[in-house]
Amino acid sequence: MQAPGMPPEIDRIEKQIGFQHRMWRAERIGWMGMTAIVLAALAGLWGGGGPLAWGEAEKDGLSVEWARIQRSGHASPLRIHLPPKPGAREAVLLLGPRFAEQWRIRNMAPEPLEAAAGSEGLRLVFRRDPTGAAMVAFHAEPTEGLGPRSLRLQASGRMLELPVWVWP
Amino acid sequence: MQSVLHAAALYVILVLLFRATGRRSLKETTPFDLVLLLVIGEATQQALLGEDFSLTNAVVVITTLLLIDVGLSLFKQRSQAIDRVLDGVPTILVADGKPIDDRLRRARVDLADVLQAARERQGLVGLEQIRWAVLEADGTITVIPAKPREG
């Protein structure tokens, strides 16, 4: 579009239309990226719940439901069913060895009878119910960071090593 | 350290997101747009401060953001290419009273918006009175009136 008598400034603006078309194309690519981010969030890829973010694991009676993908500063639930032992009064759960430095426990139900931190990790003792079963639920908030972490649980001779990914 | 990294990352992400959103999306000052901007501000603030409401953290975050802003403006001064990519360029939407439909569509601007700008800025009431209408880099529409016809 070049008409005679076009002021130089208008001409200069018009000459940049090729660049503008490229920017509009980049804009549309940006929208697709934003859509992908939102869809991934709905699937749980960024944590905060969702099918990808939630995991379940079980080994000989020790079963855990945990958030596979977590965010620092955001507490995620952790539910542990300790291996039942009819007749026993107490159950010991060992979280570690780096549990205390990588997570902050927010609230725990039931409260442990005893809690001690040592080189092996965090050792918690819970009371079993009359049938010998014990379940613990708490929220743990990852400390600041980005990347993979490992959540190790031990109870009654069983061990589970759960992978966790933390977003900042 | 985290505050600086978070602030820098958030600055870059916001620049990218706002560029992708386009020039006019947040330009209108309808009540809803104001609310949207406020909500975005709140979300950003939460991410930057977290649970640390100390004076130190606030100063570090604010200084980081302003420093990046100054750095970018210096960068834009030196490089025209960076300037064009970050700020955008003006686009002619109407020429000699004729709207360029393809560009209006891509820029997501209605002819009604152009006519409103013509009324507001120049007191013009029709397309035939517009010589050029330009969508500026900042999202405003400027209108150059047609020369009055002789006779």
Sequential DSSP letters for B3-70: HHHHHHHHHHHHHHHHHHH-SSTTT---HHHHHHHHHHHHHHHHHHHTT---HHHHHHHHHHHHHHHH
Query: With b meaning 16 or more CB within 10 Å and e meaning fewer, what string describes B63-79?
Result: ebbeebeeebeeebeee
CA distance, residue A61 to nearest chain B CA (Å): 38
- Cβ contacts of A128 within 8 Å, gap of 6 or more: A84, A85, A88, A89, A90, A91, A134
C-alpha span between A78 and A136 (Å, rounded): 8
pLDDT at A4 over 70: no
What are B64-91's pLDDT values in tens digits?
999 999 999 999 999 999 999 988 999 9
The DSSP code for A105 is: E
User: Measured at the alpha carbon of residue A43, what is the angle toward residues A139 and A25, in degrees to the nearest 5?
Assistant: 130
Contact status of A14 with chain B (Cβ, < 8 Å): yes
pLDDT at A97 over 90: no
Residue A22 burial (CB count, 10 A): 11
What are A22-38's pLDDT values in tens digits?
999 999 999 999 999 99
By DSSP bridging, strand A103-109 and strand A158-167 are: unpaired
Contact status of A17 with chain B (Cβ, < 8 Å): yes
Average pLDDT over residues B127-150: 88
What are A106-123's pLDDT values in tens digits?
888 889 999 998 888 999
Integer CA distances (angstroms), A44 to A55, A57, A77, in order = 11, 18, 14
What are B42-51's pLDDT values in tens digits?
999 888 888 8
Residue A1's pLDDT band (cuts 50, 70, 90): low
Query: What is the pLDDT, as a whole number, of residue B37?
Result: 86
ipTM: 0.84
C-alpha span between A114 and A127 (Å, rounded): 10
What percent of chain A has pLDDT above 90? Answer: 65
Question: Crossing angle of helices B55-78/B31-49, nearest 10°?
Answer: 110
Optimal mutation site among A15, A17, A25, A27, interface B, most CBs of chain B within 10 A? A27
Q: What is the pTM of this model?
A: 0.84
What are A50-84's pLDDT values in tens digits?
888 999 999 998 999 999 999 988 899 999 999 98
Contact status of A30 with chain B (Cβ, < 8 Å): yes
Contact status of A73 with chain B (Cβ, < 8 Å): yes
Which stretch of A12-16, A68-72, A96-100 has the lowest confidence by average pLDDT? Answer: A96-100
Kindly determine whether residue A27 and residue B17, on different chains, have CB atoms separated by under 8 Å. Answer: no
Give the torsion sign (CA, B21, B77, B132, A19): negative
Query: What is the pLDDT, as a whole number, of residue A159?
Result: 92
User: Measured at the alpha carbon of residue B59, what is the angle toward residues B55 and B64, in degrees to the nearest 5?
Assistant: 155
pLDDT at A6 over 90: no
Contact status of B17 with chain A (Cβ, < 8 Å): yes
- Cβ contacts of B108 within 8 Å, gap of 6 or more: B22, B24, B25
Tokens standing for B149?
């016809």
What are B9-66's pLDDT values in tens digits?
999 999 999 888 876 665 666 788 888 889 999 999 888 888 888 999 999 999 999 9
Q: Nearest by CB to B92, which of A14, A23, A26? A: A14
C-alpha span between A32 and A121 (Å, rounded): 45
Question: Crossing angle of helices B2-21/A17-43, nearest 10°?
Answer: 120
Q: Nearest by CB to A1, which of B20, B95, B144? A: B95
Q: Nearest by CB to A73, which of B50, B89, B144? A: B50
Kindly determine whether residue B132 and residue A10, on different chains, have CB atoms separated by under 8 Å. Answer: yes
> A163: closest CA among A42, A40, A69, A43?
A69
A168: nearest CA in chain B? B6
Chain A, window 142-161: residues with a beta carbon less than 8 angstroms from a chain B beta carbon:
144
Contact status of B101 with chain A (Cβ, < 8 Å): no
Residue A132's pLDDT band (cuts 50, 70, 90): confident
Beta sheet of B141-145, edge-to-edge order? B98-99, B91-95, B130-135, B141-145
Coil, strand, or helix at residue A137?
Answer: strand
The DSSP code for B127 is: G
